[in-house]
């Protein structure tokens, strides 16, 4: 069963551990004291304490044509509370062992629930239970005690053949947390939560909900997704609590998870290398995954680090290098594009690079600071057009500000009707 999900495993793991532990990867860091913001399904009793918390999610997607069997995999993290205990059996704030300092911390255990069914057998409900327990790890001078609460829930499936000539079926998957809990704080309720939950669905030919074919747009509009959104991931559908595009993938240069979405691997790796020895001791004791991250970064060869510095995903073949005096813009196939010489007509007057203008910012500009620019005088630096065909005029103010703007190439941009040409 796992083979059908191999192609999306890396992306699914990145979702599973998003925000799990953030730089500087220490339990004492403020950003690591408020955790698990994505895909959390709380126990129903806590949702009555904090109605903003969700206890269920719903995924609706479209299956094009017939399929014999669908396989749904629900993946999530189960919180595991860890405390340090000294040799006398007393809980202590920290336990120093070798090159690690262990403190109280909520680890996580990967869990999954698999459901296989034929569309003809739907609707159905599949209850599940994840066992809790206590585990002891012996260390020099003490032990680590890990405690997990049992979790219960249900996966509900339904399918509806939609009207029309296209043979489309709407599949609905609802995930509910039905664990019991008497928690009154979020930190305690997380012990009974399904954390970072998401779905992998295989067995059908799925329709993109982001870029559907024209014939499917009405069907897509009828899909209701709550707390998760499905995207295509190869032949698999991935329903994620984090916004993704179709066919997401991990950059091939990445050497491992840094637990931070849209992460900049080079910066995080370099910053991690600068941690002090005392900080690294705490990182190693915070979590086994953080310890593995630290070891990977500390032993990263220079040639691997160089790969993180920048990558060109595609190249445009050229016959010869551009001349040294080539313009800073890319004319492409339209050699007439030249912001330094292009002209726009304002009140019957041609305005171009070097034209002097008075600024009259319009109400459509959202920047409140524009009120301070009204009636100021400046000189046009360039006339530009965006991909939507709109014209924008780059202006440098007269005076010292304009000299700085020109030196750094940072101009003020206005629509033509926000300028008054000075004749």
Taking alpha carbons only, the member of 81, 75, 73 closest to residue 35 is 81
Is the domain of 244 the same as that of 372? no
**pLDDT (average), residues 138-160:** 94
Q: What percent of the chain has pLDDT over 90?
A: 53
Task: Pick the more confident residue, 266 or 180.
Answer: 180
pLDDT score, position 312: 62
Residues 378, 268, single domain; the answer is no
The CA-CA-CA angle for residues 168, 172, 178, to 5°, reads: 170
Residue 89 lies in a domain: yes
Decide which of 246, 281, 306 is a domain's last residue: 306
Are 150 and 15 members of one domain?
yes
Answer whether 0.85 is exceeded by the pTM. no
**Per-residue exposure over 125-134, b if at least 16 CB sit within 10 Å of its own CB, e if not:** ebebebeeee
Tell me which residue of 413, 418, 359 sits closest to 381, measured CA to CA: 413
Cα–Cα distances (Å) from 116 to 122, 204, 262, 311, in that order, read 11, 12, 33, 41
Q: Is the pLDDT of residue 2 over 60?
A: no
Q: What is the mean pLDDT of the chain?
A: 87
Is there a single domain that holds both residue 23 and residue 83? yes
Q: How far apart are CA 379 and CA 365, in angstroms?
A: 20
Domain check: are 85 and 220 in the same one? yes
DSSP string, 195-256: EEEEEEEESS-BPPSSS--GGGHHHHHT---BS-EEEEETTEEEEESS---SS----TT--S
Residue 337 falls within a domain, yes or no? no
Residues 390 and 286 in one domain: no
Q: Are strands 100-103 and 94-97 parallel, antiparallel or unpaired?
A: antiparallel
Q: What is the pLDDT of residue 370?
A: 76
Is residue 62 domain-shared with residue 202, that is, in the same domain?
yes
Summarised one tens digit per residue, pLDDT across range 53-100 is 999 999 999 999 888 899 999 999 999 999 999 988 899 998 988 888
Calpha distance 200→209 (Å, rounded): 15
Confidence at 23, pLDDT banded by 50, 70, 90: confident
Q: What is the pLDDT of residue 150?
A: 96
Instruction: Write down which residue in 306, 332, 361 finishes a domain.
Output: 306
What burial letters (b/e) apply to 346-360, b meaning 16+ CB within 10 Å? Answer: beeeebebebebebe
Q: Is the pLDDT of residue 145 over 90?
A: yes
CA distance 29 to 344: 54
**What is the domain range of residue 396?**
344-421
Q: Tell me: do 273 and 351 sit in the same domain.
A: no
Residue 204 pairs with which residues in a beta bridge?
A: none
Residue 329 lies in a domain: no
Predicted pLDDT of residue 333 = 46
Residue 69 contacts residue 1 (beta carbons within 8 Å): no
Assess if residue 231 is contained within a domain. Answer: yes
Are 273 and 202 within one domain? yes
How many distinct structural domains can be found in the chain?
2
Last residue of a domain, one of 276, 306, 336: 306
Question: 311 lies in a domain?
Answer: no
User: Is the confidence at residue 135, as pLDDT, over 80?
Assistant: yes
| Residue 63 belongs to some domain of the structure | yes
Average pLDDT over residues 235-250: 92
**pLDDT at site 141:** 86
Give the model's confidence band at 423: pLDDT under 50 very low, under 70 low, under 90 confident, else very high. confident
Residue 296 pLDDT greater than 50, yes or no: yes
Letter string b/e over residues 285-313, b meaning 16 or more CB atoms within 10 A of that residue's CB = bbbebbbebbebbeebeeeebebbeeeee
Res. 149 pLDDT band, cuts 50 70 90:
very high
Residues 53 and 140 in one domain: yes
In this structure, is residue 313 part of a structural domain? no
In a domain, 350, yes or no: yes
Same domain, 297 and 355: no
The pLDDT of residue 177: 97
pLDDT for residue 1 = 46
**Sequence-ordered alpha helix ranges (H) in 6-152:** 9-16, 44-49
Which of 126 and 364 is assigned the larger pLDDT?
A: 126
Residues 6 or more apart whose Cβ sits within 8 Å of residue 298? 273
What mean pLDDT do residues 404-412 have?
Answer: 86
Is 269 in the same domain as 128? yes
Q: Does residue 106 register a pLDDT over 90?
A: yes
At residue 176, the pLDDT reads 97
CB of 381 closer than 8 Å to CB of 411: yes
Strand 344-346 relative to strand 412-414: parallel, antiparallel, unpaired?
Answer: unpaired
Q: What per-residue confidence (pLDDT) applies to 16?
A: 92
Reported as a single tens digit per residue, the pLDDT across 30-60 is: 888 888 889 999 999 998 999 999 999 999 9
The H-assigned helical ranges of 92-207 are 186-189
**Which residue, 236, 166, 296, 264, is CA-closest to 8?**
236
pLDDT reported for residue 251: 80
Sheet strand arrangement including 56-64: 56-64, 168-177, 151-161, 124-130
Q: What is the pLDDT of residues 320-342, one digit of tens each?
A: 565 666 555 555 544 456 788 88
CATH number of the domain where residue 400 is located: 2.30.30
């Amino acid at each position: 069963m796992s083979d059908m999900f191999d192609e999306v495993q890396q992306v699914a793991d990145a979702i599973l551990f998003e925000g799990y532990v953030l730089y500087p990867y220490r339990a004492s860091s403020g950003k690591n004291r408020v955790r698990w913001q994505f895909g959390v399904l709380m126990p129903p009793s806590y949702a009555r304490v904090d109605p903003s918390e969700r206890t269920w999610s719903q995924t609706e997607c479209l299956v094009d044509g017939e399929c014999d069997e669908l396989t749904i995999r629900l993946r999530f993290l189960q919180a595991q509370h860890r405390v340090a205990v000294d040799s006398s059996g007393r809980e202590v704030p920290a336990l120093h062992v070798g090159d690690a300092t262990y403190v109280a911390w909520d680890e996580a255990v990967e869990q999954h629930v698999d459901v296989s069914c034929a569309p003809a057998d739907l609707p159905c409900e599949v209850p599940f239970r994840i066992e809790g327990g206590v585990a002891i790890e012996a260390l020099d001078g003490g032990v680590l005690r890990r405690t997990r609460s049992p979790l219960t829930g249900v996966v509900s499936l339904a399918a509806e053949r939609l009207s029309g000539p296209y043979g489309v079926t709407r599949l609905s998957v609802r995930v509910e947390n039905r664990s019991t809990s008497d928690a009154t704080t979020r930190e305690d309720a997380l012990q009974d939560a399904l954390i970072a939950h998401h779905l992998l669905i295989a067995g059908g030919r799925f329709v993109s909900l982001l870029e559907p074919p024209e014939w499917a747009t009405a069907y897509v509009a009828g899909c209701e997704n709550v707390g998760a959104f499905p995207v295509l991931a190869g032949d698999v559908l991935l329903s994620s609590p984090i916004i993704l595009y179709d066919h997401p993938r991990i950059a091939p240069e990445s050497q491992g998870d840094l637990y931070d979405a849209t992460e900049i691997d080079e910066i995080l790796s370099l910053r991690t290398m600068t941690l002090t020895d005392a900080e690294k001791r705490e990182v190693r004791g915070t979590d086994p995954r953080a310890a593995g991250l630290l070891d990977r970064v500390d032993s990263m060869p220079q040639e691997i680090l160089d790969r993180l510095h920048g990558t060109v995903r595609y190249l445009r073949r050229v016959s010869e290098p551009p001349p040294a005096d080539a313009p800073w813009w890319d004319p492409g196939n339209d050699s007439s594009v030249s912001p330094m010489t292009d002209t726009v007509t304002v009140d019957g007057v041609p305005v171009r690079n070097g034209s002097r203008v008075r600024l009259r910012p319009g109400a459509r500009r959202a920047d409140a600071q524009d009120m301070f620019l009204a009636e100021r005088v400046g000189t046009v630096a360039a006339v530009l057009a965006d991909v939507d065909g709109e014209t924008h005029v780059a202006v440098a103010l007269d005076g010292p500000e304009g000299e700085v703007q020109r030196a750094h190439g940072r101009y003020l941009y206005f629509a033509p009707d926000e300028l008054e040409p000075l004749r």
